[in-house]
């Protein structure tokens, strides 16, 4: 059974952690990222692929990550590592598996088949392991919609800017201009499929102002969250995704008024001088959800 | 399991440990070099013996250089070294002998 509630949980920040390093995977919950992504892929040296799995298995089954979601990036489908990666993390009750370099629905289905096999082998509930895909090439980005809809386990897609810009034959400029098309296309595809959409990392740790602007941009575009590579980035992401008191009060009014007017048979009306109808309901609900998650909501909704 | 050849797993980084296993002389020979040996030496020995028992190993020379590893890391590095010593990288017994 796939848990729909879990699929839609809040994922503002997804912190990348090198699965090879015990010092990184022993206590990252202190940073309070919504999701922790343990990497078995590019961060792990070729000579440590086998030993990283043992570390991750025991960390996942021993350490209490205190509500942060546990995600694992497995090795690519062009390696001889990914199937054992899946066995390892499914046995350790990983919540989400991230498929790297995903280009089409077939790749999602290949992973899904191995995950199901592992769930059966280790006596896990079928469907407990969710999937997400990283799009890292022009082909992957173009096929975003078929990737999003390839499996009911899919929670969303993430842009991997480094590899993607390499494929485009450009580089990360810090302006975002090179990512514009992919970001717009991916968010449309994800929403059409009813899944989430996550943005790429920001690698220049000396430019925190640029990072802030980048996160503000992707939030405005509709992204659910940002990939983080340093704990310093998490608070900034959460801050930007935290609704202001003004937003919260307005959202409360919208929800209460829509509920009230619906009962009275009124479809469209104004709140604080703005035209409001049922189309604003879900957005207002999301604002309240974000406010609750950020710990700034004191109301009764 | 039988240790087939010498193998190493882990690093000398903080919170990690480096485990070396070699074919034994009929018993378990354990040596420990730890920055926190006075405080956690017995615990590391206990975790090591339990892990070897789960892996069904009673004939090994095992040496651990510890840099403040958690129990789960000690276990992981022992298993890492043992499975390297027998060249097994697939179909590992997750949740069975590895626990």
Residue A39 predicted with pLDDT over 90:
yes
For chain A, the domains span 4-240, 245-293
Read off the pLDDT band of B6 (50, 70, 90).
Answer: very high
Residues constituting chain B: 99
Read off the pLDDT band of B34 (50, 70, 90).
Answer: very high
Q: Does domain A4-240 have CATH number 3.20.20.60?
A: yes
Distances (CA, A) of A166 to A162, A178, A207: 6, 11, 22
State the pLDDT at residue A293.
83
Q: What is the pLDDT of residues A49-100, one digit of tens each?
A: 999 999 999 999 999 999 999 999 999 999 999 999 999 999 999 999 999 9
State the pLDDT at residue B35.
86
Q: Which residues of B13-36 are buried (b: 16+ CB within 10 A; e: fewer)?
A: eebbbbbbbbebeeeeeeebebee
Q: Which of A21, A47, A54 to mutate to test the interface with B (most CBs of B within 10 A)?
A: A54
One-character DSSP codes across B52-67:
HHHTT--SEEEEEEES
Residue A1 predicted with pLDDT over 90:
no
- Please check whether residue B94 is in contact with residue A92, taking contact to mean a CB–CB distance below 8 angstroms: yes
The domains found in chain B, sorted by start residue, are: 7-85 (3.30.230.10)
A50/B84 Cβ within 8 A: yes
State mean pLDDT over A257-283: 91
Nearest-Cα distance to chain A for B16, in Å, is 6
Q: What is the pLDDT of residues A278-300, one digit of tens each?
A: 999 999 998 998 898 888 998 88
Read off the pLDDT band of B50 (50, 70, 90).
Answer: very high
Chain B contacts to A (CB-CB under 8 A): 9-10, 13-16, 69-73, 75-77, 79-80, 83-84, 89-92, 94-95, 98-99
State mean pLDDT over B54-77: 97
Residue B65 predicted with pLDDT over 90:
yes
Q: Describe the crossing of helices B37-54 and B71-85 by its angle, rounded to 10 degrees.
A: 50
State mean pLDDT over B24-40: 94
Q: What is the pLDDT of residues A211-235, one digit of tens each?
A: 999 999 999 999 999 999 999 999 9
A197 CB-near residues (< 8 Å, 6+ apart): A156, A157, A158, A186, A187, A190, A191, A222, A223, A224
**DSSP alpha helices (H): ranges in chain B?**
37-54, 71-85
ipTM confidence? 0.97
Q: What is the pLDDT of residues A153-200, one digit of tens each?
A: 999 999 999 999 999 999 999 999 999 999 999 999 999 999 999 999
State the pLDDT at residue A126.
97
């Amino acid at each position: 059974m796939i848990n729909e509630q879990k699929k839609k949980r809040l994922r503002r920040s997804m912190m990348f952690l090198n699965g090879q390093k015990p010092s990184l995977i022993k206590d990252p919950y202190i940073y309070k990222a919504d999701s922790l992504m343990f990497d078995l892929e590019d961060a792990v040296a070729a000579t440590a692929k086998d030993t990283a799995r043992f570390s991750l298995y025991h960390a996942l089954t021993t350490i209490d990550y205190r509500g942060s979601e546990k995600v694992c990036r497995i090795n690519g489908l062009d390696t001889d590592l990914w199937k054992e990666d899946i066995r390892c993390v499914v046995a350790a009750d990983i919540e989400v598996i991230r498929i790297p370099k995903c280009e089409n629905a077939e790749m999602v289905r290949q992973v899904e088949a191995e995950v199901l096999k592992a769930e059966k082998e280790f006596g896990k509930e079928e469907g407990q392991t969710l999937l997400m895909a990283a799009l890292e090439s022009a082909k992957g980005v173009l096929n975003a919609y078929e990737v999003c809809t390839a499996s009911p386990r899919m929670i969303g897609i993430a842009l991997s800017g480094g590899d993607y810009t390499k494929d485009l034959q450009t580089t990360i400029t810090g302006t975002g201009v090179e990512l514009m098309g992919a970001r717009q296309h991916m968010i449309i595809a994800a929403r059409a499929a009813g899944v989430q959409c996550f943005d790429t990392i920001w690698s220049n740790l000396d430019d925190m102002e640029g990072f802030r602007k980048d996160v503000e941009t992707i939030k405005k575009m509709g992204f659910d969250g940002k990939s983080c590579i340093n704990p310093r980035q998490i608070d900034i992401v959460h801050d930007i995704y935290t609704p202001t008191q003004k937003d919260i009060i307005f959202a409360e009014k919208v929800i209460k008024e829509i509920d009230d007017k619906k009962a009275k048979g009124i479809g469209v009306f104004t709140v604080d001088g703005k035209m409001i109808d049922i189309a604003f309901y879900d957005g207002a609900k999301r604002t309240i959800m974000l406010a609750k998650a950020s710990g700034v909501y004191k109301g009764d909704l | 399991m039988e240790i087939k050849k010498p193998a190493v797993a882990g690093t000398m980084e903080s919170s990690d440990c480096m485990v070396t296993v070699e074919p034994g002389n009929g018993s378990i020979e354990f040596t420990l070099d730890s920055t926190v040996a006075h405080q956690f030496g017995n615990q590391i020995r206990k975790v090591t013996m339990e892990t070897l028992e789960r892996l069904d190993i009673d004939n090994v020379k095992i040496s651990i250089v510890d840099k403040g590893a958690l129990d789960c890391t000690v276990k992981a590095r022992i298993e890492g070294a043992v499975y390297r010593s027998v060249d097994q990288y697939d179909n590992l017994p997750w949740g069975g002998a590895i626990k």
